[in-house]
Amino acid sequence: MRLALKRMHRRKGRRQDQAVGLTWPLRNRLLDMAGERLIDDRNRALLAVAYDGMLRRSELSALQVPDLLEEMDGGATLLVRRSKTDQEGEGEIVWIAPDSLALVCVWLERSGVADGSLFRSVGKGGRIGGPLPPGQVPRIFKAMARDADLSASAVGGLSGHSTRVGAAQDMIGAGIEMPAILHAGRWKSTAMVSRYGARLQACRSGAARLARLQGRA
């Protein structure tokens, strides 16, 4: 069995397909192209919070309204009660930017949600349902991407991790230090972050810099 796996890895390689990153420009495009229905308000708030908090789909589904606390700077802090790296349920705090908080407030005001699950299912006619199932998160991202006229390959590459990937890529591009990125995404090692930023780092490599100096790029 081990020999067969080794032969397969040599033939196909070990690198797994990486989710398309919902980077800042894509995030904004999806937000801008969303409609005016109640479900669109929820989707905008969901995407914005997922990006700022670098939240996994299970974490988004588990959020409660009381977990969100507005701060004096106009932003908010959000309690992530349980995550993949917090199996004991001690909870971790993430920061939400003022513009994202504003989108959440619009969703809460229009939906009438005042307690319980922060993100809910929305049925026909704007009927508010129960907690948003984790499996719906990637479907929502894909639907928003289609509405924003993203290519079929880009839509197909989106997953529930796309906001984590995109935010990590944006942080790397902005020159933010690795410890701060690890803290924001609640990672225990640099492995995933390095993988997310591999293509960006390649574009900044010595070879790429030399080509630019030579006028070839």
CA torsion through residues 137, 171, 90, 128, sign: negative
pLDDT of residue 5: 46
Residues ≥6 apart with Cβ < 8 Å to 107: 41, 42, 44, 45, 113
Tally the domains of the chain.
Answer: 1
64-120 pLDDT, tens digit per residue, is: 999 999 999 899 999 998 766 655 667 899 999 999 999 999 999 999 999 999 999
67 occurs within a structural domain: yes
145 occurs within a structural domain: yes
pLDDT of residue 88: 62
212 occurs within a structural domain: no
117 occurs within a structural domain: yes
146 occurs within a structural domain: yes
pLDDT of residue 195: 81
**What's 180's domain CATH number?**
1.10.443.10
pLDDT of residue 106: 97
Task: Read off the pLDDT of each residue in 26-49 and give the average, rounded to a whole number.
Answer: 97
Give the pTM.
0.84
Q: Which domain holds residue 167?
A: 20-198
Find out whether 51 and 103 touch, Cβ atoms under 8 Å.
Answer: no
